Amino acid sequence: MASHSPSAPTNVDTLVIGGGIGGLSAARVLVGKKPDAHIVLLEKEPELGQGTSRADHNTGTGHTGAFYPPGSAKATAANEGFKWLRQYHDEKGMEPREVGKIIAASQPGDSALLQKYQKQALANGQKVASILSGDELREKYEPLLSRNITEGLWLPEAYLFDANGVIQAMAGDIRSLGGEIKTKHKFLGVRAIAEGWLVTTNQGEFLAKNVVNCAGTHSDRIARMAAGHLVDEDGKVEIEISRGARDWKIMPVMGSYVELNRVADWRTAVYEPTRNPPFLGVHVMPGVNGKPFMGPDVFFSPLRERFGQETSEPQGLAKRIHEALDNVIGIPRSTADLTRHGAVPNLQFYLNMATKADGRAEVWKHLNLDESFAKDVQRLVNPDKLELHRVDFSPLRSGIRAQAIDLLTGEVLQDLAKEEIINHYNPNSRFISDKMPGSPGFTASIGKGKWLTHSI
Ligand SMILES: Cc1cc2nc3c(=O)[nH]c(=O)nc-3n(C[C@H](O)[C@H](O)[C@H](O)COP(=O)(O)OP(=O)(O)OC[C@H]3O[C@@H](n4cnc5c(N)ncnc54)[C@H](O)[C@@H]3O)c2cc1C
């Protein structure tokens, strides 16, 4: 833990860690629900929304709930967030692109998946979710769709959101409702005391009754600090009051995209079904500049952020190598970690990925992004109307997905999940961590913010 600042800590009601869509949504919910409370959001970067929430780090689609089992926390949050986000664009004068979505059956066996998605979309509140013939889809919605597509699920309500615009608008709301946002403030450590959580940052200490950890790909590390660094009443002996935060871990998984080098009249968000998660079918998307983009692949990431992103505190080479090793093999922190299932959980997960047929294809895809995507999109695009070759694509962007793994079972978490640590010395004081900052975190934002902060 970093050394204490000489000045007295700043007292706050709730400290939110992370200035991505997750932290902003949690803070937005709290300033509305507790107008008299001092709510402060800390972000380590000089600007908000530079992590996975940044426009060029995700696909940018408001997801319609077709992919999530009805009744799950994820479906409920996505359903609420989907409607809220659409209205929020109108309220703030932003323009979402109403593109609609086709989930296209491009391989044998996809029909059954379309039926499952249709049922889920309707149960999750979509007004229209129709399985249409390929001819009807081409005629009405996407003339460039391949003639090999014989059917697809049409979801007219899907839109592309303005990620950067939403981030700025949310920050404006929080400030105007009395909340504070502090950039260049990096959370470094925490300890529980009778008054609440004493949080150390690179710019001094905060004493918070509650902390909400929405640090994206870093959220497991911060949760472990809260679980592991508690002191007894005379402030000396470290004790442990929660093992929970040691039982899950974030694995960073990279998703990359390529862009067509020329303008084309591709109008609709066209997805293949997710046949073998965590691998995704290819998505072909209308680009804002008229150039369609395709992706993402699913590939292990040695870093939790993109190179050069952590501008506020550049890391030395040794720290980067340690971090890369930890992300790839999952270095155990204690002897207890060694004895439990998944001492090297990341490596196990990545090896599972790499040995599956889809995993091997994914490794190849990542090493040859332009060639692989040029081949993959042939399944969805009519070559007579839009000729595509490897040379037609340029690498566009990539984002780091926070894939959470349960270390006790080795399973990837599918539904939303939170870790709630109660302060040993003060039962009304909570430290809540978002365990699942993954997709559809942007769409679900406000619903997830409410769910996460329910007990505050
Ligand atoms: C390839 C890809 C495609 C996706 N497509 C979609 C999509 O189409 N639709 C959709 O809804 N979702 C999509 N998602 C998911 C969505 O982008 C994420 O769920 C969402 O952006 C996560 O937001 P977050 O705020 O939790 O994390 P982030 O945006 O990463 O924010 C975390 C913040 O915490 C800060 N932070 C970290 N450590 C500290 C610290 N110690 N102190 C202070 N601050 C700290 C970081 O700097 C960062 O700003 C996609 C994700 C990926 C990777």
Whether residues 328 and 298 share a domain: the answer is yes
pLDDT score of 235 more than 80: no
Q: Is 339 exposed, middle or buried (0-12, 13-18, 19+ CB in 10 A)?
A: exposed
Inter-residue contact 431 to 213 (CB < 8 Å): yes
Kindly state whether residue 356 falls inside one of the protein's structural domains.
Answer: yes
| Closest ligand 1 atom to 255 CA | 1
Above 60 in pLDDT, residue 391? Answer: yes
Residue 99 lies in a domain: no
Atom of ligand 1 nearest to the CA of 186: 42
Residue 52 Cα to ligand 1 middle (Å): 3
> Are 243 and 253 in a shared domain?
no
Q: Which residues pair with 196 in a beta bridge?
A: 193
CATH of the domain at 237: 3.50.50.60
Average pLDDT rounded to a whole number, residues 236-251: 64
Verify whether ligand 1 is closer than 6 Å to residue 296 (CB atom).
yes
- Identify the bridge partners of residue 258 per DSSP, sorted by sequence position: 294, 395
Do residues 254 and 362 share a domain?
A: yes
Could you give the 3-state DSSP secondary structure of residue 113? helix
Ligand 1 close to Cβ of residue 63 (< 6 A): yes
How far is ligand 1, taken at its centre, from the CA of residue 60, in Å?
12
363 and 432 together in one domain = no
- Asked if residue 282 is part of any domain, the answer here is no
Mean pLDDT of the chain: 87
CA dist 343 and 224 (Å) reads: 16
Q: Are 406 and 247 in contact (CB under 8 A)?
A: yes
Q: Over the stretch 27-59, which tens digit does the pLDDT of each residue have?
A: 999 999 999 999 999 999 999 999 999 988 899
Read off the pTM. Answer: 0.91
Closest CA to 347 of 281, 405, 296: 405
Q: C-alpha distances in angstroms, 391 versus 84, 144, 323, 385?
A: 40, 20, 35, 17
Closest-lying ligand 1 atom to the alpha carbon of residue 188: 41
Which residue type sits at 70? P
Do 374 and 427 belong together in one domain?
A: no
Looking at the structure, tell me whether residues 187 and 48 fall in a common domain.
Answer: yes
189 & 235 share domain: yes
| Domain containing residue 443 | 10-54+164-247+415-452
Q: Do residues 242 and 213 both lie within one domain?
A: yes
Q: Tell me: the pLDDT tens digits for 167-202?
A: 999 999 999 999 999 999 999 999 888 899 999 999
**DSSP three-state, residue 362:** helix
Q: By C-alpha distance, which of 201, 214, 186, 253 is closest to 401?
A: 253
Could you tell me if 318 and 393 lie in one domain?
yes
- pLDDT bin (cut points 50, 70, 90) of residue 395 is confident
> What is the count of structural domains for the chain?
2
Q: Is residue 32 part of a domain?
A: yes
pLDDT band at 312 (very low <50, low <70, confident <90, very high): very low
Residue 95 belongs to a domain? no
CA of 92 to the centre of ligand 1 (A): 22
Do 314 and 397 belong together in one domain?
yes
Q: Tell me: do 432 and 390 sit in the same domain.
A: no
Cis ω on the peptide bond leading into residue 46 (within 30° of 0)? no
Does 439 reside within a domain?
Answer: yes
Same domain as 222, residue 255: no
In a domain, 430, yes or no: yes
Asked whether the predicted pLDDT for residue 355 surpasses 80, the reply is no
